[in-house]
Structure 1
């Protein structure tokens, strides 16, 4: 299967190129950078440090229209939506790891999935997705007697907050407890906030240094605490998960899927 990588000059893009090169049954056939980039025309493999691949960087996805079957996109919401439209119009499949999508953008994604196969997940890590499954069991078992907080840490360059993974962790817990996260979420606390309400789910965000991604869900009650934590030390964990998702998605004609589908955790 021929794979294109969007944002190939970025940290995640380079990790994706490396992961594609390490995987079996797929090959890098296109790589896209920002319009006007001085890197246009350079070899994608040399840029990513994996050796020459004879895949030249282009500045528009349309420049590689005939060169790929599936796109992997970890860029920005606006760029991803444009690429999604392109893929839907031209019969290309797409794996999306972009976070910070609005409700309207998420709805548009679902519409495009009627035309092509779309895999969208806020976190492609196999370990995080196992945590999603575990959290559902833990939350249902503990019920409403435990206070719940989601704490996440990322590098100083991350632009959305809370992270897409943190929000998904909150959604998993809220769904398991029959709550609506939009109604029970509390994002940060300051000043005289009063006592914590029983059914709120709190979010704390830390941005510092070069942390790839740490997430903890804390369940606490009188006398005990349970913490479920995932720590990512390399972007390769997300890149490898994305390539695994791409291989799985190749067999799907159309529809919207996530990593729970890929890993058989439904």
Structure 2
């Protein structure tokens, strides 16, 4: 029996790959209840109960109407697309509902909109909601500081064949961590599709390679190549439930906070 004081979450992108795992996790984790589930207007699940999406998840009705989905929510957890998620952030700002943003791919202007909204509500945003993936980003910066001289850096991201972003949000975050730790500006040193041209490698560049195939959930590697040695760090996601569990941890963190823009680093430092 769940506590009547359960944290009420609305899940945006409920019928997606991660969304389904979120529904399952929130429905089965003590301290959480699902107040709303949001899908796109074209989804066949709009107007059906959660049980139709995830058996045993409850009778909360799935909707494509943002206003309806947000009723009674303490926190919105969003795994949609950048332009859609931005509208959800604006709606949450107006209703003073805090946000866990698992969606990536925002451009600079969109990121600024999120930062402005965080002046009025609390938002956790991360390139990777899993604890392991977030730790990889932290470690990449630490290693980059130690290996700042004489090492070439490559970021390799592998995902399923239908992954839209290229490179992934996690790959970009890894590159940003390496660049920041070694005093570089990623905008000036990133080489995308590294290895696709015949030009010699530029010293200080950060190469990005992306593999899309099969049903790979997600794998990211950062490779530091020096003379006579190579250092690699890798995180492999075998199941999307890890993103759901990380998102619930972030929801606990953000619940009750008045405003602010936070990352998974902040979440992981709070027990």
| TM-score of the pair, normalised by structure 2 | 0.94
CA root-mean-square deviation: 1.3
Check conservation: 1:129, 1:259, Cα contact below 8 A: yes
Aligned to 2:106: 101
In the alignment, does 2:15 pair up with 1:9? yes
In structure 1, the gaps of 5 or more residues are: none
Aligned to 1:43: 49
The structure 1 residue matched to 2:146, chosen from 119, 130, 141, is: 141
Cα distance in 1, alignment partners of residues 99 and 92 from structure 2: 7
Does the residue aligned with 1:53 lie in a helix, a strand or coil?
coil
How many angstroms does 1:191 deviate by?
A: 3.5
In the alignment, does 2:205 pair up with 1:204? no
How many angstroms does 1:222 deviate by?
A: 1.1
Check conservation: 1:146, 1:219, Cα contact below 8 A: yes
In the alignment, does 2:132 pair up with 1:111? no
Aligned to 2:33: 27
Cα distance in 1, alignment partners of residues 93 and 131 from structure 2: 27
In the alignment, does 2:135 pair up with 1:127? no
- 1:51-98: per-residue Cα shift (whole Å, max 9, x none)? 151201111111133221111101001110000000000111111111
In the alignment, does 2:81 pair up with 1:73? no
Aligned to 2:231: 226
Cα distance in 2, alignment partners of residues 179 and 250 from structure 1: 35
Check conservation: 2:35, 2:71, Cα contact below 8 A: no
In structure 2, the gaps of 5 or more residues are: 1-6
- 1:96-154: per-residue Cα shift (whole Å, max 9, x none)? 11111111000110000001011110100101111222222211111121110000101
| TM-score of the pair, normalised by structure 1 | 0.95
Cα distance in 2, alignment partners of residues 38 and 163 from structure 1: 28
Cα distance in 1, alignment partners of residues 68 and 8 from structure 2: 15
Check conservation: 1:96, 1:119, Cα contact below 8 A: yes
Does the residue aligned with 1:144 lie in a helix, a strand or coil?
coil
Aligned to 1:54: 59
Check conservation: 1:46, 1:53, Cα contact below 8 A: no
Cα distance in 1, alignment partners of residues 234 and 46 from structure 2: 40
Cα distance in 2, alignment partners of residues 191 and 204 from structure 1: 12
When the two structures are aligned, how many residues end up with a matched partner? 263
Cα distance in 2, alignment partners of residues 78 and 217 from structure 1: 29
